[in-house]
Homo-oligomer: A and B are copies of this chain.
Amino acid sequence: MPKIDINQVPERKGSGYPPPFAALAGARIKQALGDAGGLVDFGVNLTRLPPGTWSSQRHWHTEEDEFVCVLSGELVLITDDGEQPLHTGEFAAFPKNCSDGHHLVNRSAQTAVYLEIGSRHANDRCHYPDIDLHWDSAAGVYTHKDGSPYP
């Protein structure tokens, strides 16, 4: 049956960022609902973000569209233009190749829960405007901006 039993979907905690970038984004807990449901064209994660933590480092993708929907709690969305609150039942979209880095920060006292949807591309690159980090999905590695590897 196509309904997803979220109790059966594994939880993945943490991030793959090299230190020290994993610290604030390492508390997120994701469940890959799209994968669990057999989808391949896009990913759907149910993500829980504890108080004081970040969804990710601020970033933008060259080849992947992203969309988020807040299911409970309150987040702050941060982009080049500043901050805006994202409450329960609100939405944001991040078109691919739009060079405006974004991330979500939980400054509230409650865990926030959101759904994140992202397309998939074999040759995506991810830019991080605030830090010396770069992601190349074809290579499958994080590097410094100059391409040199992290230890």
Show the binding face of A for B, using Cβ within 8 Å: 1-4, 6, 33-34, 36-42, 44, 46, 64-65, 67, 69, 71, 77, 79, 81, 84, 86, 89-96, 98, 100, 102, 115, 117, 119
Instruction: Name the B residues within 8 Å of A81 (CB-CB).
Output: 1
Q: Is the CB of B117 within 8 A of A37?
A: no
Complex Cα distance, B7 from A89, in Å, reads 13
Give how many copies assemble into the complex. Answer: 2
Q: Is the CB of A84 within 8 A of B1?
A: yes
Complex Cα distance, B102 from A36, in Å, reads 18
A10 to chain B, nearest CB (A): 15
Of A34, A39, A67, A95, chain B has the most CB atoms within 10 Å of the CB of A67
Instruction: Name the B residues within 8 Å of A90 (CB-CB).
Output: 3-4
Instruction: Name the B residues within 8 Å of A4 (CB-CB).
Output: 90-93
A7 to chain B, nearest CB (A): 12
Q: Contacts A41-B96, A41-B119 given: A67-B33 contact, CB under 8 Å?
A: yes
